[in-house]
Structure formats: C-alpha cells, structure tokens
Amino acid sequence: MSIQSEVRRLTAPDIRARKGGEPIVSLTSYHAHTAALADKYCDFILVGDSLGMVMHGLESTVPVTLDMMILQGHAVMRGSRRALVVVDMPFGSYEASREQAFASAARVLKETGCGAIKMEGGRRMADTIRFLVERGVPVMGHIGLTPQSINTIGSFRAQGREEADWGPIEEDARAVADAGAFSIVIEAVAEPLARKITANVPVPTIGIGASAACDGQILVLEDMLGLSPRVPKFVKRYGELGPGIEAAIRVYAEEVRSRAFPGPEHVYGMKKKD
Ligand code: KIV
C-alpha cells in the first residue's frame, strides 16, 4: 500500500470552470524548486518563454527553442503535484501551420507530461487553436501585448491605450475563445478594456498588467520577487530577494577569503586541530 496521499492535479477543464468564480492564482516557474513552492498556492503554473530573458539573459523571447521549453517544463512537472502546468510554445514552433503547431504541442505534452500549452496571437491563431483543441491539446490563448512579436510591434508597450484601438483586441479575445481555448492571458491592456473582454468571453481571463478586472492573475515569479534585472512598471514587488542573495554570497566569499569558512568538523564529530 502506498503511504503517499494521492493529490489530484488540476486540469484545463478545472480552470475553465472557474469563470466568474474564485479568482485564479498563477505564477511562472522554470525550475523544480520554485515549482514546489508555487504549487502550494497556485491553480496553474506557467512555464513561460520569459525564461529566455529571465534565466538566460536574452534580449527577447524570440530565440527560445522548443527544447528549452521541454527541459524546463519537465523540471516544473517534477517539482509540482497539484497545479495545472501550462508550457509556452516558443516563437517559430507553431505559427507556420496547424500541423507544425500540433507536432510541437504533442512533443510538449508527451515529453513533459504537462496538462496544457499556451500560444500567443488572437484571430491569426484561431484556426490553429481549433485544430489543436479538436485533437486533444488544451490551449491557453495570449492576447494584448504578445512579446514574441517584438520585431514587428517595436516595443513592449501597453496595448489598447485609446478606446479607438480596443476593437481588434476584443475581436482577438472572441476568436480565441470561440476556437476553444480554455482561458486567455491578457497582457498589458488598460482596465476598462480588460473588464469589457472579461465580461464578454465565456472563458477565464488571466491578467498580467491588465488589472484586477480579470478572472485571475499571473506574474513572472522572478519579477515579483525582485530578482529580475528588468521588471515591467505594473509589477508589484512582493519580495526583494536580490539584495538578500547578494548579501549571503558576500558573507560566503568573505569567509572563504579570510579562512573563516566553517569546516565539516561539526558534521563528522571531529575535533578541530589548533
Ligand atoms: O512567458 C511568460 O512568462 C508569459 C507570461 C508573461 C504570461 O507569457
């Protein structure tokens, strides 16, 4: 008999069913150790392609590969037990055709064991989302600011600042929901637009820089912990871990250099020689 209690992992339909209910909590994670911590509080954990910028110091998410996402997705699955794990599809792994998207998504699901994938894009991705969902791939949409398009949009600016610009973003949300996405990340849009979209789509909206009007929230873990070198203005810092880590490294370096580094005597029960 197993002494481990069985924990049921949340699924894409569980998240879909939370529309208009208790707010959905989510964070990004790329590692087993942070996934284990986030798992205690989050409904889903996103293995975001932001890992390219946060972990690897890249200028954008464009160079991130499918292999990088699969490696970290696997780590997050190993670290977590309860939260739904969603893995981002990186730039170039899904846009060329529905078949390309299915092949990449199938690799992600098979090789990581995660429960869903996320892809950026509104109306332009609707056919692909429908194709995947019909074939058993749960898809989370991502509209508003779509960072993988940095080379065509030019900057990571908030979207839909003027009411006149809302129409296309609302159409993106509808198209992604109609195509069968189980929820939609809305990034960097003003509160009135996020509120309107949330009221008009039947699936949960997950805001990042898109106000409390959404059905749930997501933040990049390292951003909210004060560990990322560049953090978007909208992010509230819930911790300042950077200075704490640096202080610990400084003390360690000083101890090593001054030969004050503690030996293993206390572990092995040996007496230190004078
Ligand atoms: O890659 C990522 O971390 C994301 C979130 C910002 C939503 O897509």
- pLDDT tens string 137-189: 999 999 999 999 999 998 888 888 889 899 999 999 999 999 999 999 999 99
Beta bridge partners of 218: 26
pLDDT of residue 1: 46
Task: Say if residues 180 and 114 touch (Cβ distance below 8 Å).
Answer: no
Q: What pLDDT was estimated at residue 229?
A: 79
Q: Which of 156, 159, 187 to mutate to test the pocket of ligand 1 (most atoms within 8 A of CB)?
A: 187
- 183 pocket-lining for ligand 1 (C-beta < 6 Å): no
Cα of 5 from ligand 1 centre, angstroms: 32
What is the DSSP pairing of strand 183-187 with strand 84-88?
Answer: unpaired
Task: State the average pLDDT for the chain.
Answer: 94
Give the closest residue to 26 by CA, choosing from 40, 10, 45.
Answer: 45
Q: Is 187 a catalytic residue?
A: yes
pLDDT at 243 over 80: yes
pLDDT digit string, tens, across residues 74-122: 999 999 999 999 999 999 999 999 999 999 999 999 999 999 999 999 9
Q: 28, 34, 86, 223: which to mutate for ligand 1, most atoms within 8 A of CB?
A: 28
208 Cα: distance to centroid of ligand 1 (angstroms): 8
Q: Is the CB of 93 under 6 A from ligand 1?
A: no
Mean pLDDT of 230-239: 92
pLDDT at 146: 96
* Ligand 1 pocket check for 49: Cβ under 6 Å: yes
Of all protein residues, the one whose alpha carbon is nearest to atom 5 of ligand 1 is 48
The answer on pLDDT for 5 being more than 70 is: no
Q: Of all protein residues, whose CA lies closest to atom 2 belonging to ligand 1? A: 48
pLDDT attached to residue 269: 74
Averaged pLDDT, 115-130 = 98
Distance 48 CA to ligand 1 centre (A): 5
- For 186-203, the pLDDT digits (tens) are 999 999 999 999 999 999
Of all protein residues, the one whose alpha carbon is nearest to atom 6 of ligand 1 is 220
pTM for this predicted structure: 0.94
**Cβ contacts of 32-38, under 8 Å, gap ≥ 24:** 32/75, 32/76, 32/78, 32/79, 33/79, 34/79, 34/221, 35/75, 35/76, 35/77, 35/78, 35/79, 35/80, 35/83, 35/85, 36/79, 36/80, 38/80, 38/83, 38/221
What is the CATH superfamily name and number for domain 12-239?
Answer: Phosphoenolpyruvate-binding domains (3.20.20.60)
- In the chain, the percentage of residues whose pLDDT exceeds 90 is 86
Tokens 């690897």 label which residue?
56
Percent over 70 (pLDDT), the chain: 96
Q: Is 28 in the pocket of ligand 1 (CB under 6 A)?
A: yes
Q: Is the CB of 52 under 6 A from ligand 1?
A: no
* Ligand 1 within 6 A of CB of 50: yes
